[in-house]
Amino acid sequence: MSQPTPPKQFKCTESHNEFLPGDFDNKRTPSSGLKLTKHGDDYQLLLLCLCLWRVLKNKASDFLLATELSESEKFDDVVIKYTHEDTTVLRFLQAKHKEAPRPTDSIHKITFTDLLPSDASGDFILLKYSPSIVKILGKRYQNPVPAFLEEADIQEFILSTNIDLAEEVEEYFEVDKEDSLEEDKVFEVPTEQTRKLKIKESDNELTRELEILFYTSSDFDELVEKLADCLLLQQKFDGTSWIFKEYYYPLVVKG
């Protein structure tokens, strides 16, 4: 049975000034509302409770905990910002948790087909999440900067799931030892069955396929046309254009 739609008064409106740095205890987060899928809701709320308990247990001096934050794009299940040992970090997590299969169900594992399609309908399509990372990184250079991004180092973007990788895919991933799960103050899971993986940076089939997908699905050609018009036709540079906003971070900040 699906849950009833939450009353409108429980939803918060988006605001750049909802939080002030160092002063965000016990504040409500801007939210578009929890998605109304019973299992997904339950797991999402458990994750939020876990994060709250962990930051309190580890005596974080300040923290912000948000869900369904529109400005966090595809990584909106858990947005957590906290100060620990004089460092303020910001972390994003998107959970794709599936109910335990029945004995008669086949066990699905994540394959190349799940990771690499050019459409954006699947839960694990990498191409779907990369634009969100670039957009969030770019928002740190907006004026004004969204308050939840102020005075914090973005530590990582996590896609969390209880579905295993297929053997054909697993060889292209490696355990993240730099930000290890065993030493994680917030997302540590006390079981050896849980692993924190990242794509290997070495040249391999997965990285080559991703490079091709990123290139063929890119709107970079449109950016080149806009820049050519500015240079050759002496058109005014429009910094408010969506294409310039989208490429501000990789061109101006990283370039």
Is the domain of 181 the same as that of 252? no
pLDDT of residue 11: 33
Read off φ and ψ for residue 83, nearest 5 degrees.
Answer: -110, 125
Task: State yes or no: pLDDT of 12 exceeds 90.
Answer: no
Is the domain of 19 the same as that of 31? yes
pLDDT tens digits for range 171-220: 999 999 888 888 888 988 777 788 999 999 989 999 999 888 887 877 77
Among the listed residues 191, 128, 182, 184, the one whose alpha carbon sits nearest the alpha carbon of residue 156: 184
Range of the domain at 113: 8-217
Among the listed residues 40, 76, 165, 74, the one whose alpha carbon sits nearest the alpha carbon of residue 115: 165
DSSP state of 48: H
Is the domain of 238 the same as that of 128? no
The answer to whether residue 100 is domain-embedded is yes
Question: What is the reported pTM?
Answer: 0.74
Is the domain of 229 the same as that of 163? no
Is the domain of 143 the same as that of 172? yes
Tell me the pLDDT of the chain averaged across its residues.
78
Which of 163 and 2 is assigned the larger pLDDT? 163
The answer to whether residue 1 is domain-embedded is no
pLDDT of residue 34: 47
Provide mean pLDDT across the span 57-73: 88
Among the listed residues 170, 146, 149, the one whose alpha carbon sits nearest the alpha carbon of residue 90: 149
Share of the chain above pLDDT 90, in %: 28
Is the domain of 206 the same as that of 238? no
The answer to whether residue 127 is domain-embedded is yes
How far apart CA 192 and CA 55 sit, in angstroms, is 23
Per-residue pLDDT band at 89 (split at 50, 70, 90): very high
Is the domain of 186 the same as that of 251? no
Residue 90 bridge partners (DSSP) = 81, 154
pLDDT tens digits for range 214-238: 878 777 777 777 778 778 877 776 7
Among the listed residues 143, 150, 145, the one whose alpha carbon sits nearest the alpha carbon of residue 21: 150
Is the domain of 135 the same as that of 183? yes
